Structure 1
Amino acid sequence: MTVTPLSLGRARTSRRVLLDRISRRLVVLGGVVIIASILAILLVIAAEVYPVFRPATAALLGRQAPAAPGPAHAPAGPSAAGVDEYRAVAWRLTGAGSLEFVPLGAGQVPEPAIVPGLDGARVSAVAAAGRSHFVLGTSDGRLIPLELAFAVTREGGARVVTPEPAFGVPLTLDPEGRRAVRRLAAATPDGGPVAVAQVGPTALLVQTVVEKKVLIGPGRTDSSVQTLDVVTDGEITALALDGRGEDLFVGTSRGRLLQYDLRDRGSPKPGDAVDVSATAAPLTALGFLLGDRTLVVGDGSGAVTTWQLVAPPGGGERRLAQLHRFEGHPGPVIAIAASGRDKGFVTADAGGAVRLHYGTSGQTLLSVAAPDGAPLRAVVFAPKADGVLAADATGAITHWRVDNPHPEVTLGTLFGRVWYEGYAEPAYVWQSTGGTDDFEAKLSLAPLIFGTLKGTLYALLFAVPLALLAALYVSEFMHPVVKGWVKPAVEIMAALPSVVLGFLAGLWLAPMVERVVPGLFLMPLVTPGL
């Protein structure tokens, strides 16, 4: 068969058409794959980001009531209850001096511990003085230290948590009047324990214990008590002392918050005073967030606010400034419990409502209520911030599991001004980590975005003139032979993503430059000597 030029041309045309169709389909397939890859990347990013914005949740795990519920099993104060870090054993300290333990899961009920040395007195107040240290105030004017630790062992593959309470020697606070301790605040700074007790409507006693070491023999302990009469038109209704033992805060029945400087233990100095409640409602609860810089205030109208001592932007003496106002309670706030992991805290009212807040963002994250509506006496935030317990007037303990992995992330904290601890005013700050456990995460993206735009602008100031001049030189002045090599190379580089170019530069170009750069830097020093 003779092949004519016409048939040969048709064959070539058919092959060309076939190749065009195959190329077209490959190009379409490549575009679809790229679009699908980009969508898949967006889905992966969304799946990774969603948990950061997931709201807090709580699940009711149960309610443990004593065998004979009643006021005899009620906690002696807002701080007279707690739980171990595994949420296996809860405890409550009653007014009769019985330290009762409640297993929250399977296990034996530990025997209660009796506070020694009461001699007919009652436990009238309890204050936390550290993670495992407490101070008990009695109805006859004494203070009893308590260290409550939990031993963790393994038996048959199961975790066993055993409470180990250790009571200290009672200290006489008011030897003459033997007045009852109405309210109590305590701290254990490096210089020695400090306790502030209310023994009258406006009367406070400040006890300082100093442990002195000697070269020979055992050390001795010196205790001193100072009288502090609070000048106010109402009565004292709440106390709070920071962990450093430096700042004492007093809440009154007229809604005022008073600050006293205790750096000089011998002569406390009055500081700033503010009206917290616009309705003059009594301040019923005071507590510090982790780090003892931010003070949480709850009042009789159910309002919850946070305050801190800050110096004005221009400098000067520290003043009390309100940071945030949170979602209020329907009844008086009776207890505040801070998280041991972050700036979160829990508040409870007498009607059984419990709410979870976060101090940095100023938001209320969660609200739950005791199932039976019994008046609450104490609230506990688990040491790992994964559970909340509430003890009511009958001694029953209600237990919730809390899932709140990223409370510090909100649109406001990412893109807005935030008033952080120690700052004189709200600011945009990025500082994701710190060197202490009480660090406050600062996650504002504004500095990162601004820094990126600023770096891009500075890069454009150098890159745009160089690019335009190089383009003019290549287009108008470069030799055609060299231009034939440079122009395609530049076009190929422009077609490649900058990430790919950076990847190639890091793998191939960086090792070469690494060997040459030291010589280039040393050349100005070596060349003049030759």
Structure 2
Amino acid sequence: MSSTSNKPSEERFTVARTTLILDRLMTGVIKGGGWLVMLAVFAIFAFIFVQILPLFGHPEVKSVGEVAVPVDEVAVMGVDEWGELPFFLTQSGTLHFADLPRDVESRTYQRVDGDVNQLALGPRGLFEVDTKLPEKNWTGFYYDAYKGEIALGSEDGRVALLHLDYKAEFLEDAPRMVVPEVKSELLPALSQSDAPVRQLAFFESTTNRAIGTLQESADGKTIVTLQTYVVKSSLFGAPKMVPDAQIDLGHGITDEKPERLLIGGQGDRILLTTEGGWLYYLRLQKGKLERVQKLRPFADLDDTSIHSINWLLGKQSVILTSKSGANITLASYLDEEAGQILYTKIKDFPALDAGGANDFSPAQRNRGFLISNEHQLSLRYSTTGDVRWETDTDFPLQKIALGPRWDSIFAFDAQQNLHVYAVDDPHPNAGAKAFFGKIWYEGKSEPEYDWQSSSGTSDFEPKLSIVPLFFGSIKGTFYAMLFAMPIAILAAIYVSQYLKPEAKRYIKPAMEIMASLPSVVLGFLAALWLAPLIEDRVPSILLMLIAIPLSAAMLGYFWGRMPQTVRNRIRPGSEWMVILPVVLIVGYLSWQLGPTLESVLFRVYDPDLGVKAGNFRLWWTETTGVSFEQRNSLVVGLMMGFAVIPIIFTISEDALTNVPPYLTSASLALGASRWQTTWRVILPTASPGIFSATIIGFGRAVGETMILLMATGNTPIMEWNIFNGMRTLAANIAVELPEAPQYSTLYRTLFLGAMALFLLTFILNTIAEVTRQHLREKYKTI
């Protein structure tokens, strides 16, 4: 046979064309898949960013136009919910309405042809509604825009009430029309019927009514009177408000001249300002008046006098201005030492340039307010202490009104022109200060971080700080990792280095299956089984956490010093057969000895028993001063630890197993023990993988939702106390999102929480990758 016949054909080294095409195709698919993953991540980031961006925007206020409203001596001005029917109440008691129709869809006003700045009145024009009040010279007024109630005081000491309401009528072949409904009530004459009423304060609920008046007598004295009413029911007819008591507020309260008066609470809180800048807080209890507090809000100014004082929505806070234009907020809070409600300054706004406020209009949906003097108009928000918008006007302002929907401003000038502004400020209670700063909220004794998005009343002040939610996420993750990391890493070391391969084939798959347990099942078990189980057995848990590791370490110590003949009876890798019974026995004894330990070390007076007894729950509360809740961080740490352990264990075990065998063999050949080899050679080499496993487990714990949702009290508190709960960012999104109106401040704030989670995991993964590369370079062996 010739030599050429045995020569291999070159075609055998030629790759088939179909193989090359398939290889190129799969390479493109893999690259494309990677780019699509990156694109998806950035798309998610961009979507979340677009959702939260409006939270940090600035309000837009634009002049819509003006319209002539020839009404003299306007005492009170207000507007309906739709901004189409502003009213003007004069000092003579006549009530005028200006018809300013708006397009239902575009929300634009009708304009005069040829003049874009001139608004056109509707077909009803400027019309008057009969209030059925007697013709008098009304000298005092109080307007509650939230309830649509106006109290009027006359020069002969009479008080009348007006209630304004609106309804929308829909007619065929005609636009929607807003129709006012006015009810009036003339109250009995005051005791000083010959003294004009200069100031009024009014409160009314379904059960009582209170009217405060400041009257000026002929000799120049100011008479301050509080008239209370109660509901009287009868067998026939509807319940009626009847006079109850008349109280002289000036007698025995102050020697200074009273100037202004407000009534809040349930008609039992009275705020009285006097000349010299003093504010008196009075409390009405069982028909008796008590002076609770005296303070001087502008004590740090040269002129301490109070120029104006008005309630915010909810009547828990008051807005004050001084003659120089200083503007502050006072709010009520519970003083625990005094055991009663007091008032303190919580906000200090920038001063008005042209002096104190001449008119004030509170928002009816939030803690904002509109304030003005002769040539300055300012829109402000009390919760954050921000000036949302401010302008100087070229016309003298007389009266102002803020639209009930926080979408419009009405300003009436001295030339009888009504100026209308459109407000675009959908998120006044948002911003960096609201989300990340300490806010002094109503009812609080100091600034704090707080989250409470809703309540049962419409005048509630939302609290949207995400700091306690971020803290809760870190707290829950910390206790979970504190429990999971030692168990997972030590288990990975034992399984990879000491356990028989036959047993490893069952242990590792079992741990991987454990990772697939639904978190809702774990949360259910934590809430309904684990939390009640360990509520009264905390000493047992503590004893187990100490005794089990200690007993295992002592067993290992003594086992290593036993004769070789004894140790040879147990095959290498089967030591767990000796350790497991000891751990189970020690765990059982610790559980049973827990109550005994509790009765010896944690004795405290038990009010239910009337004697000293072992009660860890009471002992913890009395000793540390913090609470003990059934669903707490200990429960979360134990159960969420079981969810994290499989992840850390699996990745760590793979990293330890993949250490090159020749490194282990070389260490053992040089005389090192198995433990020395593990500690000095295997762990440093596998440290990048173990670190990555820890970070991945951390990310799993940070993003956990159902376990934290079901096993904690979901209270946004900032305490490291292991025996109370928390609220996390992930659990908060799950709880709040179904109830959040789309594009509302709450809705966008939840996306802000999602962004915080996204950035947290992104930063952690980046740090983990950098650290892993550093460890890999430091401990590289091949």
Q: Per the alignment, in what secondary structure is the counterpart of residue 428 of structure 1?
A: coil
Does structure 2 retain, via aligned residues, the 8 Å contact 1:74–1:394? no
Alpha-carbon distance between aligned partners in 2 of 1:396 and 1:149, rounded to the nearest angstrom = 24
Residue in structure 1 matched with residue 234 of structure 2 by the alignment? 214
Does residue 1:50 correspond to 2:53, yes or no? yes
Corresponding residue to 2:137 among 107, 122, 130: 122
Q: Per the alignment, in what secondary structure is the counterpart of residue 73 of structure 1?
A: coil
Aligned ranges for residues 94-105 of structure 1 at < 5 Å? 94-105=90-101
Does structure 2 retain, via aligned residues, the 8 Å contact 1:73–1:394? no
Does residue 1:28 correspond to 2:31, yes or no? yes
Does residue 1:261 correspond to 2:283, yes or no? yes
Q: Per the alignment, in what secondary structure is the counterpart of residue 127 of structure 2?
A: coil
Residue in structure 2 matched with residue 247 of structure 1 by the alignment? 269
1:112 CA drift (Å): 0.9
Residue in structure 2 matched with residue 166 of structure 1 by the alignment? 183
Alpha-carbon distance between aligned partners in 2 of 1:58 and 1:304, rounded to the nearest angstrom = 22
Moved more, 48-57 or 89-98: 48-57
Higher-Rg member (1/2): 2
Alpha-carbon distance between aligned partners in 2 of 1:315 and 1:175, rounded to the nearest angstrom = 37
Residue in structure 1 matched with residue 72 of structure 2 by the alignment? 73
Q: Per the alignment, in what secondary structure is the counterpart of residue 466 of structure 1?
A: helix
Corresponding residue to 1:276 among 254, 278, 297: 297
Alpha-carbon distance between aligned partners in 1 of 2:508 and 2:237, rounded to the nearest angstrom = 89
Deviations 1:146-170 (A, max 9, x none): 1112121012352101112222124
1:453 CA drift (Å): 1.0
Does residue 1:423 correspond to 2:444, yes or no? yes
Does residue 1:64 correspond to 2:61, yes or no? no
Corresponding residue to 2:248 among 227, 234, 241: 227
Corresponding residue to 1:308 among 314, 323, 331: 331
Deviations 1:236-289 (A, max 9, x none): 333222152121212334222222223444x43223122122222432221122
Moved more, 86-95 or 198-207: 198-207
Does structure 2 retain, via aligned residues, the 8 Å contact 1:240–1:287? yes
Distance 1:138 1:392, change over 3 A: farther
Residue in structure 1 matched with residue 545 of structure 2 by the alignment? none
Deviations 1:283-327 (A, max 9, x none): 222112221111111221111111123233545444321000112
Does residue 1:342 correspond to 2:357, yes or no? no
Distance 1:469 1:449, change over 3 A: same
Q: Per the alignment, in what secondary structure is the counterpart of residue 481 of structure 2?
A: helix
Matching residue's letter, 1:240: L
Deviations 1:117-163 (A, max 9, x none): 544x3121211256122111112211111111212101235210111
Residue in structure 2 matched with residue 92 of structure 1 by the alignment? 88
Distance 1:89 1:115, change over 3 A: same
1:56 CA drift (Å): 1.8
Corresponding residue to 1:368 among 352, 371, 391: 391
Q: Per the alignment, in what secondary structure is the counterpart of residue 330 of structure 1?
A: coil
Q: Per the alignment, in what secondary structure is the counterpart of residue 420 of structure 2?
A: strand
Q: Aligned residues: percent identity? A: 26
RMSD: 3.4
Does structure 1 retain, via aligned residues, the 8 Å contact 2:265–2:316? no
Q: Per the alignment, in what secondary structure is the counterpart of residue 306 of structure 1?
A: strand
Aligned ranges for residues 503-518 of structure 1 at < 5 Å? 506=518
Corresponding residue to 1:470 among 491, 506, 509: 491
Matching residue's letter, 1:408: N
For normalisation by structure 2, the TM-score amounts to 0.58
Q: Per the alignment, in what secondary structure is the counterpart of residue 168 of structure 1?
A: strand
Matching residue's letter, 2:208: G
Q: Per the alignment, in what secondary structure is the counterpart of residue 88 of structure 1?
A: coil
Distance 1:217 1:186, change over 3 A: closer
1:82 CA drift (Å): 0.7
Does structure 1 retain, via aligned residues, the 8 Å contact 2:395–2:413? no
Q: Per the alignment, in what secondary structure is the counterpart of residue 199 of structure 1?
A: strand
Residue in structure 1 matched with residue 205 of structure 2 by the alignment? 189
Does structure 2 retain, via aligned residues, the 8 Å contact 1:183–1:238? yes
Q: Per the alignment, in what secondary structure is the counterpart of residue 176 of structure 2?
A: strand
What is the aligned residue count?
493
1:18 CA drift (Å): 6.7
Q: Per the alignment, in what secondary structure is the counterpart of residue 193 of structure 1?
A: strand
Distance 1:114 1:396, change over 3 A: farther
Deviations 1:400-449 (A, max 9, x none): 22222222222222122222221222222221121111111111212211
Moved more, 221-230 or 324-333: 221-230
Does structure 1 retain, via aligned residues, the 8 Å contact 2:69–2:126? no
Residue in structure 2 matched with residue 525 of structure 1 by the alignment? none
Does structure 2 retain, via aligned residues, the 8 Å contact 1:247–1:262? yes
Deviations 1:451-483 (A, max 9, x none): 111111111122212221331233124444665
Q: Per the alignment, in what secondary structure is the counterpart of residue 291 of structure 2?
A: strand
Does residue 1:154 correspond to 2:170, yes or no? yes
Residue in structure 2 matched with residue 83 of structure 1 by the alignment? 79
Alpha-carbon distance between aligned partners in 2 of 1:361 and 1:405, rounded to the nearest angstrom = 15
Matching residue's letter, 2:280: L
Distance 1:467 1:479, change over 3 A: same
Residue in structure 2 matched with residue 498 of structure 1 by the alignment? none
| Structure 2 residue runs without a partner (length 5+) | 102-109, 111-121, 530-782
Moved more, 178-187 or 151-160: 151-160
Alpha-carbon distance between aligned partners in 1 of 2:276 and 2:521, rounded to the nearest angstrom = 70
Residue in structure 2 matched with residue 527 of structure 1 by the alignment? none
Residue in structure 2 matched with residue 450 of structure 1 by the alignment? 471
Does residue 1:111 correspond to 2:127, yes or no? yes
Q: Per the alignment, in what secondary structure is the counterpart of residue 15 of structure 2?
A: helix
Distance 1:167 1:204, change over 3 A: same
| Structure 1 residue runs without a partner (length 5+) | 495-500, 519-530
Residue in structure 2 matched with residue 438 of structure 1 by the alignment? 459
Corresponding residue to 1:10 among 5, 9, 13: 13
Residue in structure 1 matched with residue 314 of structure 2 by the alignment? 291
Distance 1:123 1:150, change over 3 A: same
Does structure 2 retain, via aligned residues, the 8 Å contact 1:257–1:275? yes
1:9 CA drift (Å): 4.3
Alpha-carbon distance between aligned partners in 2 of 1:4 and 1:280, rounded to the nearest angstrom = 112
1:13 CA drift (Å): 9.1
Q: Per the alignment, in what secondary structure is the counterpart of residue 259 of structure 1?
A: strand
Alpha-carbon distance between aligned partners in 2 of 1:382 and 1:263, rounded to the nearest angstrom = 36
Does structure 1 retain, via aligned residues, the 8 Å contact 2:333–2:443? yes
Does structure 2 retain, via aligned residues, the 8 Å contact 1:257–1:276? yes
Alpha-carbon distance between aligned partners in 1 of 2:239 and 2:472, rounded to the nearest angstrom = 57
For normalisation by structure 1, the TM-score amounts to 0.83
Higher strand fraction: Structure 1 or Structure 2? 1
Corresponding residue to 1:203 among 217, 223, 229: 223
1:31 CA drift (Å): 2.5
Distance 1:392 1:240, change over 3 A: farther
Matching residue's letter, 1:82: G
